[in-house]
């Protein structure tokens, strides 16, 4: 079964962020916001949603638009494994199967109150996932210099398998 990651996009200042749809309870049109006296600046007020009182938070005020612009979300891949390839010749097909990890991280030094952001948004400062990478490709070389084309499916496991098509093309140096 082909599993897709669905995300909901939102804007904070000039930044566009994406959250997994599984973290979103619902999306509604905002009814009239009732101001709350003496509330912090980032609290716009409250709304009545089907009899439930919900605070409306302006995330750009809460975290600071400048801090949001400097926020860094990074991905580190560590994949290791064999490459099977026939010997000799300038044009050589290959297959590979690698295993390892994919680590998604939110830089806590760049986002103030990162623990609060992690709690509210479901983000963690680090999210290490097991991964496998089956791939195939071709290398063409003249002497020690050549080109490589590779296509594969980087599959990481986070609440089920998440598939990511990966195609790479570039120079190689054989020694």
Question: Which single residue is written with the structure tokens 């939102």?
Answer: 10
Query: Where are the chain's structural domains?
Result: 1-66, 71-175
* pLDDT computed for residue 7 by the predictor: 76
CATH, range 1-66:
2.40.50.180
Backbone angles phi, psi at 92, to 5 degrees: -130, 120
pLDDT digits over 120-153, tens only?
444 445 567 889 999 999 999 888 888 999 999 9
* pLDDT computed for residue 148 by the predictor: 92
List Cβ neighbours of 88 (8 Å cut-off, separation of 6 or more): none
Contact 131, 104 (CB under 8 A): no
Q: What does pTM read for this prediction? A: 0.51
CA-based angle 138:142:146, to the nearest 5? 45
pLDDT digits over 101-115, tens only?
887 765 544 444 444
pLDDT digits over 7-18, tens only?
777 766 666 677
């Amino acid at each position: 079964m082909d599993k897709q990651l669905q995300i909901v996009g939102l804007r904070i200042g000039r930044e566009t962020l994406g959250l997994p749809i599984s973290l979103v309870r619902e999306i509604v049109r905002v009814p009239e916001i009732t101001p709350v006296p003496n509330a912090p600046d980032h609290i716009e007020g409250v709304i009545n949603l089907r009899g439930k009182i919900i605070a409306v938070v302006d995330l750009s005020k809460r975290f600071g638009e400048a801090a949001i612009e400097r926020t860094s979300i990074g991905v580190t891949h560590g994949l290791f494994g064999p490459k099977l390839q026939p010997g000799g010749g300038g044009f050589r097909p290959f297959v590979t199967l690698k295993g390892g990890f994919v680590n998604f991280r939110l830089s806590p030094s760049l986002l103030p109150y990162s623990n609060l952001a992690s709690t509210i948004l479901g983000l963690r400062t680090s999210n290490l996932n097991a991964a496998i990478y089956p791939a195939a490709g071709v290398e063409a070389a003249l002497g020690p210099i050549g080109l490589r084309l590779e296509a594969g499916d980087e599959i990481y496991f986070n609440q089920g398998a998440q598939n990511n098509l990966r195609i790479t093309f570039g120079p190689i140096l054989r020694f």
